Amino acid sequence: MLTKQEQLYLKTLDDLNNRIVSRDPYEILGASALIRKLFFDDHPLVEQVNQHYKLKFVFNVCFLPAWPPGVPEPNIYCIQDGLDPDTSGQGWPTHQLGRDQFFKIIVLVIDGKKYTIKDVVLFEANIMGGVHAGTPKSEKDKILKTLNDQLFINGYATSLRQLKAIGRVIIKALVPLTQHVKSKLKKA
């Protein structure tokens, strides 16, 4: 029999998957709340469920670990689908990272301000309305909000669209935990 946390975990992952494949910006925005619940709340759901299994998660990603020497950094850089090895067309190296390393990946740079995966998720959740509709307070958040108001990629605000690739990578990294929980369900 599944615990309430395991049931919530499976429903949350199903919801996350549905939201990141959606074309509706509101649905995609909701992915930020789910990622926050899984990893960033005071008692992250992934940790609650994994305390029994004690699995180490591997996040497979593509990114340039450093800007190539001698090449000037662009004013605006956003990795978008390049983060996910399944959608990356840039031929970047694939890296297997732990949870903390994954959330520290820089996925967006605006005029020298660097935004990590964690920054993007929490910006969408806490400022853009995934959880709370807030007002950007920090200079960094104001800059990202301005960019989102002016630059759209395939019809989506830049950081909102980045959630799609982030969500895909997360779902794949959590496959071992998901399989353990589902196998428990089959035994019941």
CA max distance for the chain: 59
> Over pLDDT 70: what percentage of the chain?
98
What is the rounded average pLDDT of the residues 146-164? 90
Q: With residue 3 as reference, give the H or E element that holds it.
A: none
Q: In 16-132, which ranges are E strands? A: 59-62, 76-78, 94-97, 106-110, 113-116
- pLDDT-derived band at 188 (thresholds 50, 70, 90) equals low
- Asked if pLDDT for residue 147 goes beyond 70, the answer is yes
Can you say how many angstroms the Cα of residue 16 is from the centroid of all Cα atoms in its chain?
10
pLDDT tens track for 78-127? 999 999 999 997 677 899 999 999 999 999 999 889 999 999 999 999 99
Question: 97 - beta bridge partners?
Answer: 59
* Closest to 172 (Cα-Cα) out of 106, 89, 102, 117: 102
Domain boundaries, the chain: 4-187
Higher pLDDT, 66 or 141: 141
What pTM did the predictor assign?
A: 0.94
**How much is the pLDDT for 77?**
87
Which residues, at least 6 apart from 28, have a Cβ–Cβ distance to it below 8 Å?
19, 20, 22, 156, 160, 161, 163, 164
What is the Cα–Cα distance from 5 to 13, expressed in whole angstroms?
Answer: 12
3-state secondary structure of 99: helix
Buried b (16+ CB within 10 A) or exposed e, 153-178: eeebbbbbbbbbbbbbbbebbbeebb
Structure tokens at 36: 């926050």
